[in-house]
Structure 1
Amino acid sequence: MCDFLTDNSSCENLECYMVLTWAEQTAIGSICFLAGPITFLENALVLGVIAATASLRQRPTYLFIASLALADVFASCFFTTSFLDFHLFRRSDGPTAYLFKLGGVTMAFTSSVGSLLLTALDRYLCIQQASSYKLLLTRRRAVLGLLMLWTATILVSFLPLIGWRCPTGLAPPCSRLFPYINQGYLAFWTSFALVLLALILCAYALILWKAHSHELTMTGLQGAAGTGQARMRIDIRLARTFGLILIILVSCWLPALSFMLADVSVVLTRTQQRAFAFCSTLCLVNSAVNPLLYALRCRELRVALLQLVQRLCVIGRCRKSTEGLAAGLPSTGDNNCTAITEDGTPGNRT
């Protein structure tokens, strides 16, 4: 057992940060081995559908969803490999290698939260400025916003690698949660993430308030007896949807961010370090849930997914039938075969 306040010699190989017991390693490792591949497959599927569908690629909403999926793909790769490599396989990297890996994890999660904010702002503009939405949020502006987001994310995430690191190496007063990390940088990044989360909460609260006000206006104009019940059903559906999104978001991120804020002001015990290791896996769980909340709930994306699967099945059947016919036909000198063109007439191709 090591003590950050009295014994720094045992921290030469990052032993003070490898605090998990065997049972905890098994439990958290199981979460990572399960959530990591699921997160990667889900978000890769969303990226593939959007990339293969021209109509979705042109719309800012799906560009933001694609950015979220890309960030979560990075999170599934960087976090899972780095976390398991450090806590389960107890790999002791040097400052440069460790900060590079940590920068990749930070970039992935920061981009994920930033993409969630852009998605929330997109939905707010859609309901607040419905008549001029397409003029306000063009594809060019959406791409520009994504470029700004990813540029800022990369810069902020790799600041410790550039030079904003702990001046005393592994000794206090540096972070007890992350080796080589300056407490000032940890406070800066945690505050940045909390601001993003607060903006997301405000955006969805404004969306719900605007939708409620709109339904009240429509009820007053129409004056139908059943309109009030319809308005209540719409408000309840919106409240449930946004409530679910916000509960999952806050539940996954607030515990880890709370430990990071505590690490800046107090000396964390080994028990608190182990609790933080578990809470950090909740961020990966949030990346696994994001495709279900933001992508697969969209009817257009589900339709595009079904159409893509149908096209792939048709291509597979055609390829199998072509191979079967080629196996039963005698080979010719010029290797020509007959194909059906788009207009239905037979044509020759080499």
Structure 2
Amino acid sequence: MYNTNTPTSYFFPPEAATMTTEQSVVSALTYNGTPTAAGGFDGEYLMRYMVLNEPEKKILSLICVLTGPVTFLENILVLVVIGTTDNLRKRPTYLFIGSLAAADVLASSFFPIIFLDFHLFKRSDSPEIYLFKLGGVTMAFTGSVGSLLLTSMDRYLCIYQAPRYKSLMTCRRALFGIVALWITTVVISFLPIFGWRCWSASLCSLLFPYVAPLYIGCWVGLMLIVLFLIVGAYALILWKAHQHEAAMEAPTAGRSTMGRHARMRVDIHLAQTLGLILMILVLCWVPSLSIMLIDVSRKLTINEQRAFAFCGTLCLVNSAVNPLLYALRCRKLRRALVNLLRRVCGVCCRGKPVCVCLQNKDGDVKKYAETVSESLDKQNPG
């Protein structure tokens, strides 16, 4: 049984013993002289996250204002091209690229607006509204990285299970994978608003208000696993390309020197493409994830908080680069884009200006493979 003689001062300030019930509650919520909300967050709580100085605000505002609209338009264009082209909608590869573009559209819509609203205009929302906004940003970036994983797994199956690829990766299975990805992404992203959050300022992350460090640690761990799988898939594809290159170098009767040089160009292009993909992925994501891991392990300094604001914009840059790496470098998607532009603008293309240039680019693609699957398909001798 509880001791009914426990002094009132154990739970409330000493003055509360002579106060009414209402006065005692008010005193408890203003203990130590700082007004606090019922959740234990004082009026200055959000200010500890608004650490950017004026020059930093200007630089980050410029990055967001330039990168956000460009990213949005790029990815909307990819979605429109895939959505209006029948043969692209029926191929799993382009469904995964469409999922990636949709995630990056969300990222370019949510991140710049919420980031600038918080750091530049110093908006102080309630915990529920802030966590809802943060959930939107988390959903966009998680969906983007998850779609990159689906794309890399699709390319891996295309190379290592080439004879069975069409039976293994059907449109129905691709759609099921995309739906499963987004359901999982939504659930993970909005866990804080459903209760997995901190309830005391001293227990919260110094990167995200109202967010528990354990949640950040779990999310970072998940992202690192996904990134590791992506890097592993592309590393195996590169290894497969290296094996093909070694086979091509072996002397074989009837093999022309021109054919060997053509395959060597394909190998070099493939290595450059995959190297660029992995380099951009690592450069854009590792800095942010590293600082988030530090936040889980110890208290961050103000300089580390400022650095994270800049690192966060790199994730938006990754969303801007994704359409260039995964979509617009693809010959079939570029052709579909040209056809769409012809239909929309009514350009006949018989008189040479822009169209000849586009046709020449497509002609060059016939000599140099543009995508991972096209590169390795050309490497297969049979």
Give 5+ residue unaligned stretches, structure 2. 1-33, 35-39, 349-382
Q: Find the aligned partners of 1:142 and 1:53 in 2 and give their Cα distance.
A: 17
The one-letter code matched in structure 2 to 1:65 is I
The one-letter code matched in structure 1 to 2:231 is L
Question: Quick one: structure 1 residues 21 and 174, their matched pair in 2 at CA, closer, same or farther if it must change by over 3 Å?
Answer: same
Partner of 2:59: 27
The one-letter code matched in structure 1 to 2:149 is L
Q: Which range is displaced more, 208-217 or 222-231? A: 222-231
Aligned residues: 308
Q: What does residue range 25-174 of structure 1 map to in structure 2 within 5 Å?
A: 25-168=57-200, 171-174=201-204
Cα deviation for residue 127 of structure 1 reads 1.0
2:297 to 252, 265, 272: 265
Asked if the contact 2:248/2:260 (under 8 Å) is kept, the reply is no
1:67-117 deviations in Å (ceiling 9; x for gaps): 000000000011111101000010001100000000000000000000001
1:277 to 309, 323, 331: 309
2:234 to 189, 199, 204: 204
Question: Quick one: structure 1 residues 9 and 182, their matched pair in 2 at CA, closer, same or farther if it must change by over 3 Å?
Answer: closer
Query: With structure 1 as the length reference, what TM-score do the two structures score?
Result: 0.84
2:218 to 184, 188, 194: 188
The one-letter code matched in structure 1 to 2:213 is Q
Cα deviation for residue 237 of structure 1 reads 1.5
1:324-350 deviations in Å (ceiling 9; x for gaps): xxxxxxxxxxxxxxxxxxxxxxxxxxx
RMSD: 1.8
Give 5+ residue unaligned stretches, structure 1. 1-6, 317-350
Cα deviation for residue 191 of structure 1 reads 0.5
Asked if the contact 1:127/1:211 (under 8 Å) is kept, the reply is no
Q: What does residue range 8-23 of structure 1 map to in structure 2 within 5 Å?
A: 12-23=44-55
Cα deviation for residue 13 of structure 1 reads 4.8
Partner of 1:328: none
Q: Which range is displaced more, 264-273 or 218-227? A: 218-227
Cα deviation for residue 12 of structure 1 reads 3.4
Q: What does residue range 199-348 of structure 1 map to in structure 2 within 5 Å?
A: 199-220=229-250, 222-223=252-253, 224=255, 226=257, 228-314=260-346
Cα deviation for residue 173 of structure 1 reads 2.5
Q: Which range is displaced more, 207-216 or 122-131? A: 207-216
SS in 2 for 1:20: coil
The one-letter code matched in structure 2 to 1:74 is L
SS in 1 for 2:163: coil
1:275-302 deviations in Å (ceiling 9; x for gaps): 1001000000000000000000000000
Q: Percent identity?
A: 61
1:125-156 deviations in Å (ceiling 9; x for gaps): 11111111111100000000001100110010
Cα deviation for residue 232 of structure 1 reads 3.5
Question: Quick one: structure 1 residues 182 and 221, their matched pair in 2 at CA, closer, same or farther if it must change by over 3 Å?
Answer: same
